[in-house]
């Protein structure tokens, strides 16, 4: 990012030219918006997903010579190895991959708890362990974990999801301490209720599928997310804007943090 003085103050221009980024789980939703945002800022971006067809479609939809795909299930150690072979070095790692779903906590089995931790937590741990040492050696790097308002406000309808997002806050803080003084920053991004295809399905589960989308969204926010000050779902590019900033040079003093882009959902002065 370059900063230049303008007539009435500081003008900021995000420029990630020369940086290589990986965004996990980026064939749709928030991850896709983040990949597109980083590419628009000039980064070379690796789009990741498990399906070759979906990865190819996502790369094509973003466009540009600086976007390519890597097909791998990063929820597994084998998938992490496949990614590191395709991209031995990174400047920016965005651990976005995650799953969610409503289920009463008393009905969540051991296997499901393990699956949520493998996908939502250990995927990012493995990739950070892979790429952080190189970033530290080079004296520059950005690692981000896409967490959630659910990390602070545990949702009763999906406790297992909320707990994994809470874990990411500790994971990111711990890796930030490991990278102290190296020029590498590690942060969590607390995304609020966001408008994605998966969330549309989730909203339908909670309020029914017989309502027009605008009314279903309003009912969902009113009944299930009344704390939101935005009073609407966040659009994925709004999350991507914060990630692009955190990936830039101007965010050099922001590390070890839980940075909120939650629409004011979390009712606290600090997370």
pLDDT tens for each residue of 46-77: 999 999 999 999 999 999 999 999 999 999 99
Tokens 């990614």 -> residue: 83
Q: What pLDDT is stored for residue 5 in this prediction?
A: 39
Block residue for tokens 């629409």: 263
Lowest-confidence pick of 138-142, 210-214, 236-240: 210-214
pLDDT band at 271 (very low <50, low <70, confident <90, very high): low
Reported as a pLDDT band with limits 50, 70 and 90, residue 1 is very low
Q: Which residue is catalytic, options 116, 131, 145, 161?
A: 161
Q: Give residue for tokens 């996908």.
A: 119
Three-state DSSP string of 153-209: CCCHHHHHHHHHHHHHHHHHHHHHHHCCCCCEEEEEEEECCECCHHHHHHHHHHHCC
Has residue 196 got a pLDDT over 90? no
Mean pLDDT of 23-38: 97
Cite the residue boundaries of each domain of the chain with CATH code 3.40.50.720. 2-193+236-255
What pLDDT is stored for residue 214 in this prediction? 87
Rounded CA separation 59/71 (Å):
11
Question: Is the per-residue pLDDT at 3 higher than 60?
Answer: no
- Helices vs strands, H then E, count in the chain: 9, 9
For the cut 60, the answer to whether the pLDDT of residue 176 exceeds it is: yes
Q: 102-106 — which CB contacts under 8 Å span 24+ positions?
A: 102/157, 102/158, 102/202, 102/205, 102/206, 103/157, 103/158, 103/160, 104/157, 105/156, 105/159, 105/160
**How confident is the model over 208-228, as pLDDT tens digits?**
888 898 889 889 999 988 989
Residue 145 bears catalytic tag: no
CATH of domain 2-193+236-255: 3.40.50.720
Rounded to an integer, the average pLDDT of 140-148 is 98
User: Helix 123-138 crosses helix 159-178 at what angle (to 10 degrees)?
Assistant: 20
- What is the average pLDDT value for the chain, to the nearest integer? 93
């Amino acid at each position: 990012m370059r900063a230049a003085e303008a007539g009435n103050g500081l003008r900021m221009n995000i420029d990630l030219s020369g940086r290589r980024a990986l965004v996990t789980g980026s064939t749709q939703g928030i991850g896709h918006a983040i990949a597109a945002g980083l590419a628009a800022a000039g980064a070379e971006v690796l789009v990741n997903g498990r399906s070759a067809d979906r990865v190819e479609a996502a790369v094509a939809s973003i466009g540009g010579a600086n976007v390519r795909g890597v097909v791998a299930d990063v929820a597994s150690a084998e998938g992490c190895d496949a990614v590191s072979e395709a991209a031995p070095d990174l400047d920016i790692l965005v651990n976005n991959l995650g799953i969610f779903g409503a289920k009463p906590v008393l009905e969540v089995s051991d296997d499901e708890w393990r699956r949520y931790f493998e996908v939502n937590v250990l995927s990012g741990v493995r990739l950070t362990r892979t790429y952080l040492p190189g970033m530290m050696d080079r004296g520059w790097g950005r690692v981000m974990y896409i967490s959630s308002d659910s990390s602070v406000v545990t949702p009763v309808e999906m406790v297992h999801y909320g707990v994994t997002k809470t874990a990411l806050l500790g994971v990111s803080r711990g890796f930030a301490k490991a990278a102290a003084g190296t020029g590498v920053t590690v942060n969590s991004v607390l995304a609020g209720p966001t408008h994605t295809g998966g969330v549309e399905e989730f909203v339908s589960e909670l309020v029914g599928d017989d309502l027009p989308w605008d009314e279903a969204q309003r009912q969902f926010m009113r009944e299930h997310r009344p704390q939101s000050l935005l009073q609407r779902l966040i659009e994925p590019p709004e999350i991507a804007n914060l990630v692009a900033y955190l990936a830039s040079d101007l965010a050099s003093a922001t590390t070890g943090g839980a940075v909120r882009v939650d629409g004011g959902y979390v009712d606290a002065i600090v997370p």
